[in-house]
DNA sequence: CCAAAAGTGTTCATGGTACACCCATGG
DNA sequence: CCATGGGTGTACCATGAACACTTTTGG
């Protein structure tokens, strides 16, 4: 056995048995406030399957990877086609490829994404196009049984989100351009599912150097709260050596 | 455009344009001590390409994903076929799929692995089989130009390794069953590329609860050092909800 | 004026870092 | 006995948690 050369390259001639069905799916979170409730929750859009494997069950938005299509572009495209949404943050989550996760073998490159509060309404129930059939928002914490291994996938995406919110600034991916510290804190509290001390939270985030105070204030029921912007000179998330590729795809926005 | 159903499932009939060449590659690190040098370095095995795309260049060990083969099994298999090595730790790194990374489009599921010092000699230059042509060890810090985007991939694997060594116990994946604290510290110093205070390192790692002191001592030039074993009840790495799958595949060992 | 959220100050525990010091062995 | 690495003790500093307190608005 000395075929030491079948490496990652493509050698025309090996062909058939190396061909695999490759799909791209996206777990896309946004934040939903509930009047009355003391905590906002994470929600994600799902698509109801209308075909054979797991027909009728809800599944992550996604589709097949086109031949000459970048993978993150495929994630954006299939997400737009199925839900009309365009995320503010998109990152590869994991490649799921267990042979028994679908009747015939499918490798799914799964992305996870964040949708800013002001973007969440677009598409899905936009005033222009009528709300889509077979698409609906679900609370991330209380999902029904999903198609394929999609419950596991969402679980993993939630775990990744909770982890990453600790050491990077992705929380901003869920907020509009300007926000109060209370709103930012609400994001953290939702993701981590626990209360944070307002005083300590303020200092920590102020000292991180990622916030720029504006002149504006959010006026409401009580003392007005200063509005902040996100300092774009600091990277949103630490992607390591992959940052170039990822951020270039992130800059593309509708 | 209402094909909202082409999700991750496999719908026999869509077929051809969803088929993609899928390869599996592995970045596998081990530690090399150099007599004279004050620091050990990370090394990885590469395979020289003997075929068309990038013929003559060195590349990561890997191969095509078989139809009914789990992805991590494919990583183990192709690694064994090309280098004869069997890692003590294996984890998915990233899926690389840029359309221009190879003459024809290839999606590479890349794994990264750690080889214990006592395993590194096996296979590659084992006394049983003669040392393999077209396989060689390289210092991870000073690689030549590799085939495809493999330089980027190694860079990313190094970044992940450096990160992960901070919050998990993967460093043990580079050591034999029993080791001294100095040896463990050497691993950390090599990965992080900086000196660590022996006294503080001892306390930190002792308080982490991951080490079990044995009765043995490593006798050498100076005061004998106690040997420790790794506490297998603590997970080697925090993989989140994927831990089950990953650890079950990790338990398979030659 | 009062409730409630914005924002400030202070204290305490914890964990990392720096470094002085003693212990045990081979040569 | 001495150089060298194994191993212990301790002081210091940064960070985060807990919480008392002041400020500013709407009603």
pLDDT single digits (tens) A73-108: 999 999 999 999 999 899 999 999 999 999 999 999
* Chain A residue with Cα closest to B244: A152
CA quadruple A145, A151, A152, A157: dihedral, nearest 10: -160
For B140-230, strand residue ranges (E) read: 178-180, 211-218, 225-230
Q: Give me the total of CB pairs closer than 8 Å, taking one residue from chain A and one from chain B.
A: 228
Q: What is the 8-class DSSP label of residue A61?
A: S
- Contacts for B110 with CB less than 8 Å, ≥ 6 apart: B24, B25, B26, B27, B60, B62, B92, B93, B94, B95, B96, B153, B157
Write down how long chain B is: 254
Best CA proximity match to A104, nearest among B40, B128, B19: B19
What pLDDT was estimated at residue B246? Answer: 47
With contact defined as beta carbons under 8 Å apart, do A161 and A89 qualify? Answer: no
- Alpha-carbon distance values, B219 to B39, B197, B199, B224 (Å): 21, 22, 20, 5
**Interchain pair B105, A150: CB under 8 A:** no
Distance of CA A247 to the CA centre of its chain: 15
Residue (of B102, B86, B71) closest to A8 by Cα position? B102
Quote the CA–CA distance of A143 and A53 in Å, as a whole number: 19
CA A228, CA A97: separation in Å to the nearest integer? 42
From residue B19, alpha-carbon distances to A11, A33, A66, B13, B16 in Å are 16, 41, 9, 12, 6
The C-alpha R_g of chain B, in whole angstroms, comes to: 20
Give the sign of the dihedral formed by CA A1, CA B149, CA A63, CA A158.
Answer: positive
> Are the C-beta atoms of A197 and A181 separated by less than 8 Å?
no
Q: What average pLDDT score do residues A126-153 get?
A: 85
pTM: predicted TM-score of the whole model, two decimal places: 0.88
Residues of A in contact with B241 (CB under 8 A): 152, 155-156, 159
Distance from CA of B90 to the nearest CA of A (A): 15
Which of B19, B134, B159 lies closest to A21 in CB terms?
Answer: B19
Per-residue pLDDT of chain B (254 residues; tens, 9 = 90+): 333 334 444 444 444 557 999 999 999 999 998 876 778 999 999 999 999 899 999 999 999 999 999 999 999 999 999 999 999 899 999 999 999 999 999 999 999 999 998 776 654 544 445 567 899 999 999 999 999 999 999 999 999 999 999 988 899 999 999 999 999 999 999 999 999 999 999 999 999 989 999 999 999 889 999 999 998 877 777 777 887 654 444 443 33
Sign of the C-alpha dihedral computed for residues B239, A109, A119 and A178 taken in this order: positive
Write out chain A residues lying below 8 Å of B6, CB-based: 62-64, 78
Q: What is the DSSP letter of B174?
A: G
pLDDT for A163-209, tens place per residue?
999 988 899 999 999 999 999 999 999 999 999 999 999 999 999 98
Mind listing the pLDDT tens digit for each residue in A202-224?
999 999 989 999 999 999 889 99
- Higher-confidence residue of A130 and A10: namely A130
What distance in Å separates the CA atoms of residue A97 and residue A9, rounded to the nearest whole number?
Answer: 20
Please give the Cα distance from B121 to B118 (Å, whole number).
7
Q: Helix (H) and strand (E) counts for chain A?
A: 6, 10
Q: Is the CB of B152 under 7 A from strand C?
A: no
DSSP string, B8-33: SS--TTTGGGGEEEEEEEEEEEEEE-
Nearest by CB to B67, which of A11, A105, A132?
A105
Distance CA B132, CA A56 (A): 54
Give the full edge-to-edge strand order of the sheet including A211-218.
A178-180, A225-230, A211-218
Considering only alpha carbons, which residue of chain A is nearest residue B97?
A71
**A221: Cβ under 7 Å from strand C?**
yes
Q: How far apart are CA A24 and CA A220, in angstroms?
A: 43
Q: Determine, for residues A241 and B98 on separate chains, whether the beta-carbon distance falls below 8 Å.
A: no
- Judging contacts by C-beta atoms under 8 Å, the chain B residues touching residue A14 are 64
């Amino acid at each position: 056995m000395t075929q030491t050369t079948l490496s990652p390259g493509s050698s025309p001639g090996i062909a058939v048995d190396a061909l695999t069905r490759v799909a791209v799916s996206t777990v896309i979170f946004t934040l939903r406030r509930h009047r009355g409730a003391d905590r906002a929750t994470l929600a994600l859009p799902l698509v109801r399957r209308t075909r054979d494997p797991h027909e009728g069950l809800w599944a992550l938005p996604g589709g097949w990877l086109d031949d000459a299509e970048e993978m993150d572009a495929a994630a954006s495209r299939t997400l737009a086609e199925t839900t009309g949404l365009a995320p503010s943050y998109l990152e590869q989550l994991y490649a799921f490829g267990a042979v028994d996760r679908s009747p015939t073998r499918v490798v799914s490159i799964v992305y996870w994404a964040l949708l800013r509060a002001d973007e969440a309404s677009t598409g899905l129930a936009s005033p222009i196009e009528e709300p889509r059939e077979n698409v609906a928002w679900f609370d991330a914490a209380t999902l029904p049984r999903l198609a394929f291994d999609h419950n596991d996938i969402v679980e993993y995406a939630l775990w990744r989100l909770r982890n990453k919110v600790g050491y990077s600034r992705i929380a901003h991916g869920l907020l509009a351009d300007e926000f109060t510290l209370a709103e930012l804190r609400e994001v953290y509290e939702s993701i981590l599912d626990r209360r944070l001390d307002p005083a300590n939270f303020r200092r920590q985030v102020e000292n991180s150097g990622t916030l720029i105070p504006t002149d504006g204030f959010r006026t409401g029921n009580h003392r007005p709260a200063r509005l902040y912007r996100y300092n774009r000179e600091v990277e949103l998330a630490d992607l390591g050596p992959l940052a170039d590729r990822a951020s270039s795809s992130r800059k593309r926005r509708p």
